[in-house]
Structure 1
Amino acid sequence: MKPTTRSRRTAAASLVGSAALVLSGCGTEDDGAGAAGGSVTLGFVNGANTHFHQCLLKAVEETGKAQKATVYSANSKQDAGTELSNIEDMIARNVDALIVQTVNVDALEGDIAKAKSAGIPIYLTSVATSDLSDVLGVAKVDLKKLGALDAGWIAKDAAGKDVKVGIVAGAPGAASDLMVGGFKDALPANAKVVANQPGMFNPAKAQDVAENMIQAQPDLDYAFVANEEMAFAVRKAFDAAGVKDVKIVSANGTEDGIAAVKSGQLSATVANSAMTIGQTAVKNTIGLLDKDKTVDKIADIPLVLVTKDNVSDAPQYCPE
């Protein structure tokens, strides 16, 4: 690493404040845990506490350990201000690179600028900015395609009949917006979206949304739910209201999600392996830091539409 870069980091670290420097390297994720010891230090800024984010953290930590890297982690809890603060804390730690699962695409501009001014490269997971010139790389999930895959299943299942569709989105501003946009764009003309409300990636909130939705639209045919944790709560609300024939499509491909597809609780889900994202992010970040290696800047994460017919094709979602 060039001396000029290291000096810029040191200067930036001094600006963040001493509070960030007292974070322990052996606590929980929220207090900046260090997962492993090594010559490369990585800061992982996670976006929330859903099952996806927990599995992503586990994959990052385990892969970091296997790669003999030190990983410090923090959780932004769906708040863009906390995300920036977490990035500042990682800058204070003088990490070699940052891996960020953002809470809001719009927040990335400030995040990237902060890291760039400190001379610390930033690697993105799941979503990418339109201009990637200032980032080290990205483990990219085509979230619009993810939504489109679920919409395609509805189109095939509806077989040209006029149907009503409800959407239980996640938290506005990042992954959910892209998924919902791709879903709506790919729906056929015979499928009408009659409700679209955010469940905030919170099962209790999603259940409330579903209860209100079915009261307003008792003849709903399908529901697209932005992740499986919310989808189970939505299924519970629909079943309690006596509308068990509403077909639910979702995303993630968790162990429970795949089991729900097998049982018919969910009609389809799009497998988007948190384990693969985390492994790819760590390996590629380390590879891109090494100027003697050739590593693709953009890594596309595979997506699999999982139905009863192909449950065996679903990739492993979470590290064991």
Structure 2
Amino acid sequence: MSTRRIAAAIAASLLLGACSVDVSNDKAATPGPGTPVTTVVTPDPGGISRYVSPVALPASTDTRGPDGEKPVWYTQLNLTPAEVQKVRAGKFRAAIVWQEASPFMNALGKGVTDTYKALGINIVSTTAANFDQTTLANNVRSVLALNPDVIVTIAIDPVADVATFKPAVQRGVKLVFASVKPQGYKAGKEYVSLVTYDLAGLGAATADAVGHGLGGRGKIGQIYYDANFYVTNQREKAFEQTLKAKYPGIAVVDRAPMADPSKVEDVASAMIARHPDIQAIFAPWDTAAEGVVAALRNAGRTDIGVYTIDLGNTNALEMAKGGLVKEMTSTLAVEFGNSLAIAGAYGLIGKQAPPMVIVPAFAVTKDNLAQGWESTFGVSLPADIAAAGGHK
């Protein structure tokens, strides 16, 4: 896997939330099969099925977009019954242009597909570029030949993708971006809206989990992604600020940089050698936490808890067994897709959409793993994880 492709994989996984890409073996963490559940959805004012947040939505958030945009919650993104009928009457066509095919992207895709089916919008194509910029540009041109009215997509390289999406902009196709948009593009002009998750909320929820897990007192280590990357920067800043403000009895005694995710096990091993008295380690995302778990096992340290952001199979199984992983912070993956689709529908009928829309963050522990999984993916826990945790 080339250095450029590794960087793209890391960016895509972090921008899109739950299932991180394991760059050490080029495989994605998978949510696994499960039975669809309906208890986590409810109709919105327009009759479209939306996911219910398992936590109360805060009055405000510190999350900001790449140009400082202030987001609104996904619950403020709705179509009226009359607007739903207007969309259905339009006989519109949509294309989904992803960077990768992965479990989390599949969850987003389900949200887009289900919502557009309910709105009578025909999806003419779904593509994945596998992190290749040339392929992405070709995919955009290919779907434009199918005459879509709206494209739901993600920009990984904000600079290069200015040109990638220019043909769509020139043709007046409505664009909705997941998490990252091309540099210089403006909401209401080149694109309709940017939809993502509550970046600051993810960090704050993880800090609260550490605080509760340690009873408000103790020593921890923090591994952070050593890059100027607004997604991880916001998550980590919120984690640190929340710990400092709410849990003064918890000291971060080692804050270690991680530039290469494949080296996270070495970083964690060095950390516990320097500070054998730490009681917990924060890992910046799911597969990084897997490396921390490996380091702890190799050192025979079953007394150090691991806290992370994103929800994936390996760590969920570890947590269900009562192992080293104590908490993973997640988000509404399918609702992310629902919101992308509805934002696109705004553009199709000329309704002004919020420049930025977010779905919430929530802590997932052994006690609420089944609910957290269902809220994230819309399906029940995989059988092996359910059995390990005693969930039926």
The TM-score with structure 2 as length reference comes to 0.58
In the TM superposition, what is the alpha-carbon distance from 1:155 to its structure 2 partner?
4.0
In the TM superposition, what is the alpha-carbon distance from 1:263 to its structure 2 partner?
3.3
Q: What do residues 154-191 of structure 1 show as CA deviations (whole Å, max 9, x unaligned)?
A: 34445243432223x49975644543444345443721
Identity of paired residues, percent?
19
Contact 1:97–1:285, Cα closer than 8 Å, also in 2: yes
Unaligned runs of 5+ in 1: 1-37
2:359 pairs, out of 296, 301, 313, with: 301
- Which shifted more, 154-163 or 266-275? 154-163
Structure 1 or 2: larger helix share? 1
For residues 202-217 of structure 1, what are the structure 2 equivalents within 5 Å?
205=262, 209-217=263-271
Structure 1 residue runs of 4 or more that deviate by more than 6 Å after TM superposition: none
In the TM superposition, what is the alpha-carbon distance from 1:59 to its structure 2 partner?
3.3
How many Å separate the matches in 1 of 2:138 and 2:254? Answer: 38
How many Å separate the matches in 2 of 1:306 and 1:252? Answer: 9
For residues 129-208 of structure 1, what are the structure 2 equivalents within 5 Å?
131-133=186-188, 134-158=190-214, 159-167=216-224, 169=225, 173=229, 175-188=231-244, 190-198=251-259, 205=262
Q: Aligned-pair RMSD on alpha carbons?
A: 3.6
How many Å separate the matches in 1 of 2:266 and 2:104? Answer: 26
Q: What do residues 258-310 of structure 1 show as CA deviations (whole Å, max 9, x unaligned)?
A: 5544433421122212211112212331243123x676554321221223454
In the TM superposition, what is the alpha-carbon distance from 1:199 to its structure 2 partner?
6.0
| Partner-residue secondary structure (3-state), 1:93 | coil
**CA shift in 2, pair 1:215/1:259, >3 Å:** closer
The TM-score with structure 1 as length reference comes to 0.69
For residues 21-36 of structure 1, what are the structure 2 equivalents within 5 Å?
none
**CA shift in 2, pair 1:163/1:270, >3 Å:** closer
One-letter amino acid matched to 1:97: V
- Which shifted more, 189-198 or 270-279? 189-198
1:120 pairs, out of 173, 183, 191, with: 173
In the TM superposition, what is the alpha-carbon distance from 1:60 to its structure 2 partner?
2.9
How many Å separate the matches in 1 of 2:176 and 2:318? Answer: 33
**CA shift in 2, pair 1:250/1:215, >3 Å:** closer
Look up the match of 1:279. Answer: 338
Higher relative contact order (Cα pairs below 8 Å, separated by 6+ residues): 2
Q: What do residues 66-95 of structure 1 show as CA deviations (whole Å, max 9, x unaligned)?
A: 443214222233345544443333334332
Unaligned runs of 5+ in 2: 1-89, 380-392
How many Å separate the matches in 1 of 2:152 and 2:101? Answer: 16
How many Å separate the matches in 2 of 1:148 and 1:111? Answer: 35
In the TM superposition, what is the alpha-carbon distance from 1:143 to its structure 2 partner?
1.5
* 1:236 paired to 2:290: no
| Partner-residue secondary structure (3-state), 2:302 | coil
One-letter amino acid matched to 1:60: V
Look up the match of 1:42. Answer: 94
In the TM superposition, what is the alpha-carbon distance from 1:136 to its structure 2 partner?
0.7
**CA shift in 2, pair 1:62/1:186, >3 Å:** same
In the TM superposition, what is the alpha-carbon distance from 1:98 to its structure 2 partner?
1.4
Contact 1:79–1:103, Cα closer than 8 Å, also in 2: no
**CA shift in 2, pair 1:309/1:62, >3 Å:** same
